[in-house]
Amino acid sequence: MQTSKDFAREIRNVTLKMVYNAKASHIGGAFSMADILSVLYHNVLKIDPTEPDNENRDRFLLSKGHACTSLYATLGLKGFFELKELDSYAANGSKFLAHTSHYIPGVEISAGSLGHALPIACGLAIAAQKKHKTWKTYCLLSDGELNEGSNWESILLAPQLKLNNLILIIDYNKIQSFGFVKDVIDIEPLSKKFEAFNWETYEINGHDHEELLATFKLCDNDGPKPKVIICNTIKGKGVSFMENKLLWHYKSPSEEEYNQAIGELNL
Amino acid sequence: MRTAFIKELIEEAKKNKNIFLIVADLGFSVVEPFIELFPDRFLNVGIAEQNMAGIASGLATEGYNVYIYSIGNFPTLRCMEQIRYDICYHNVNVKIIAVGGGYAYASLGASHHATEEIGMLRTIPNLTVCAPGDPEEMRAITKFTSAHNGPCYIRIGKAGEPEVHKKYDKSIAEVKSGDILNVINGTDIAVFSTGSMLDYSANFISNNSLKASLYSFPFIKPLNKNQFTDILKKYKRIITIEEHQLNGGFGSTILELINDLKETKTISSYPEIKRVGINNAFYSIAGTQDYLRKLAGIELQLNYFEL
Ligand SMILES: [Mg+2]
């Protein structure tokens, strides 16, 4: 039987192929969140690829829309659409834009400009709360994106409204557009910040599938607080020469790099 | 108009369980009756307009018809990208309400002068842009937006504007998208007024016994092209008036539309057009709304009415 780790490997393979074919960017951030997506879509989210708009589904909102490739790969592998449709990624006329698009089955919102998904996620969580629905809202943010003030407006409000059905995930890969997070705007101590803002706070290894799954289970509680899972991750995780390198926020792999990456992913 | 808005919204909310009101910590002594009746469909998100717009988008996705309410530039310019992207690009059912259009908060200074938002908002696809001219139009526009499925912006003046249509024995029970409302019937020259300039324009025409027509434009976008074309054909001169910058505002809308009608040969010629509005300036002087309007040149002159 396929494990979430097998699934993560497939996600990275499909992602790499998309980025390589389209000569696209942002593979580093797509890889850092691949294990999170894998555990979410393999084990956690209550979703049905044949009914992407089922009103009782869990909602997953990707805020770092530039890392859309691994989400598209995840959804394609899950059967939300034909996997081969991804061959058109970023090509003329394709609906698979290089940022998430809500016109793709399974994608809840379009994102591209940072700091937009969490307020929308709060709106969804409020709706579920008002309507006494049991589905949950998951929202995945990047670390650099925490520079955006709009996120902090939501981070202030969610505990006030007791949005315990909201699970925020931070892909803390320590790198943002222009360098290391700690050198641009150090967001440490991040866990303490969320605790001080009255969030139920977890800090884990975002590549450890057991820990991810266990933490998502812990978040399934009736306590009053919204949940945040700070996932310590590595940008470019899975391909040695991409790991922890700012360059792979921008660069597309050459043929040689592509072949080496394929080799490493499938060791 | 503020009062007319909340009263009508309450009436609509009684019938429509999906109407939801969010404020960004403003609306004191306005929205309380709504909160009392519908505590479960009201939210104060605090002083955080970007969050308010995003939350509204989320709630609308889940089936609510969400009104977001604040004053001046806060629910518009402050969260313009959320309006464009979260609301209009996703084409969700959110109604943006800004109280204090133009110089309604005159002496509070430039931060509170809402004089550019129409120009910005009317460039955004999917968004209906409204500026009702008196309490009756306000009620009709509120009713319209409660039934309309899609994003709308509504510019409200303040409190205490007089009923204009009633004064001229007209009544506006309902408006359809793009409706243009005739207030005074005259010849040769017509004043096209939007938003709170209506009362001033009506008084100017009446007090000076001018033979001009007056039309109120509660919609700036879209406009009913057929109705507009029929009106246009009757006049030799049009005077547009708005409490907004001339650049990109209501008068610009009229010019663009006329140009396009001419280009597509729907009309063969068109009238002279005089635009009245703010001429690319900020004002840093205290005073009443009337004082600032005058200072900014938002006033009609008798010679505009001489052919
Ligand atoms: Mg990062």
Identify the structural domains of chain B with CATH numbers, from first to last: 2-156 (3.40.50.970), 164-302 (3.40.50.920)
DSSP 8-state symbol, A58: P
Cα gap B278→B282, rounded to integer Å: 9
CA of A171 from ligand 1 middle (Å) equals 7
In this complex, do B60 and A113 lie within 8 Å of one another by their Cβ atoms? no
In the prediction, which pLDDT does A267 show?
Answer: 87
In this complex, do B51 and A153 lie within 8 Å of one another by their Cβ atoms? yes
Task: Please answer whether residues A8 and A38 qualify as being in contact, where contact means their C-beta atoms are separated by less than 8 angstroms.
Answer: yes
In the prediction, which pLDDT does B13 show?
Answer: 98
Task: Please answer whether residues B273 and B258 qualify as being in contact, where contact means their C-beta atoms are separated by less than 8 angstroms.
Answer: yes
What angle do the packed helices A4-22 and A68-78 form, to 10 degrees? 120
Return the structure tokens found at B132.
């009702």
Q: Residue ranges of the alpha helices (H) in A42-135? A: 68-78, 117-130
Position A42, amino acid: H
> What does each C-alpha distance from A145 to A114, A202, B3, B82, B235 come to in angstroms?
6, 19, 40, 16, 55
Unique residue bearing structure tokens 């303040």: B158
Q: Which chain residues have CB less than 5 Å from ligand 1, an ion? A: A 142-144, 173, 175-176
- The verdict on B228 touching A (C-beta cutoff 8 Å) is no
Return the structure tokens found at B250.
């209501």
- The verdict on B213 touching A (C-beta cutoff 8 Å) is no
Burial class for A84, CB neighbours closer than 10 Å (0-12, 13-18, 19+)? exposed
Query: In sequence order, what are the residues at sequence separation of 6 or more whose Cβ sits closer than 8 angstroms to the Cβ of residue A63?
Result: A111, A114, A115, A116, A117, A118, A139, A140, A141, A142, A145
Q: Which of A59, A185, A16 is nearest to A8 (CA)?
A: A16
pLDDT at A79 over 90: yes
In the prediction, which pLDDT does A151 show?
Answer: 98
- The verdict on A118 touching B (C-beta cutoff 8 Å) is yes
Task: Please answer whether residues A174 and A235 qualify as being in contact, where contact means their C-beta atoms are separated by less than 8 angstroms.
Answer: yes
Return the structure tokens found at B96.
């943006």
What's the average model confidence in pLDDT over A56-66?
98
pLDDT (tens digit per residue) in A250-259: 999 999 999 9
- The interface predicted TM-score of the complex, written ipTM, equals 0.97
What's the average model confidence in pLDDT over A42-57?
98
Task: Please answer whether residues A32 and A233 qualify as being in contact, where contact means their C-beta atoms are separated by less than 8 angstroms.
Answer: yes
Task: Please answer whether residues A34 and A11 qualify as being in contact, where contact means their C-beta atoms are separated by less than 8 angstroms.
Answer: yes
- The verdict on B17 touching A (C-beta cutoff 8 Å) is no
Residue A234: CB atoms within 10 A of its CB come to: 20
In the prediction, which pLDDT does A218 show?
Answer: 98
What is the rounded average pLDDT for all residues in chain A?
97
Position B107, amino acid: S
Select the residue of B43, B58, B64 nearest A121 (Cβ to Cβ). B58
pLDDT (tens digit per residue) in B15-59: 999 999 999 999 999 999 999 999 999 999 999 999 999 999 999
- The verdict on B80 touching A (C-beta cutoff 8 Å) is no
What is the rounded average pLDDT for all residues in chain B?
97
- The verdict on B33 touching A (C-beta cutoff 8 Å) is no
Domains of chain A, with CATH numbers? Answer: 4-265 (3.40.50.970)
Residue B126: CB atoms within 10 A of its CB come to: 14
Query: In sequence order, what are the residues at sequence separation of 6 or more whose Cβ sits closer than 8 angstroms to the Cβ of residue B124?
Result: B83, B84, B88
Q: Which of B46, B101, B98, B108 is nearest to B75 (CA)?
A: B98
In this complex, do A131 and B86 lie within 8 Å of one another by their Cβ atoms? no
Starting at the edge strand found earlier in the chain, the sheet holding B188-193 runs: B181-184, B213-216, B188-193, B235-245, B272-278
What's the average model confidence in pLDDT over A31-43?
98
Q: Which of A196, A191, A131, A204 is nearest to A165 (CA)?
A: A131
Overall pTM > 0.95 = yes
In the prediction, which pLDDT does B158 show?
Answer: 87
In the prediction, which pLDDT does B88 show?
Answer: 98
In this complex, do A121 and B64 lie within 8 Å of one another by their Cβ atoms? no
What's the average model confidence in pLDDT over A56-84?
98
For chains A and B, what is the number of CB pairs under 8 angstroms?
Answer: 87
User: With a cut of 70, which residues of chain B have pLDDT below it?
Assistant: none
Return the structure tokens found at A219.
């978040």
In the prediction, which pLDDT does B282 show?
Answer: 98
In the prediction, which pLDDT does B54 show?
Answer: 98
Q: Which of A103, A150, A162 to mutate to test the interface with B (most CBs of B within 10 A)?
A: A150
Contacts of A127 in chain B (CB under 8 A): 58-59, 61-64
pLDDT at A162 over 90: yes
In this complex, do B50 and A119 lie within 8 Å of one another by their Cβ atoms? yes
In the prediction, which pLDDT does B127 show?
Answer: 98
State percent of chain A over pLDDT 70.
Answer: 100
Cα gap B200→A80, rounded to integer Å: 58
Distance from CA of A102 to the nearest CA of B (A): 8
Return the structure tokens found at B6.
């909340």
In the prediction, which pLDDT does B159 show?
Answer: 82
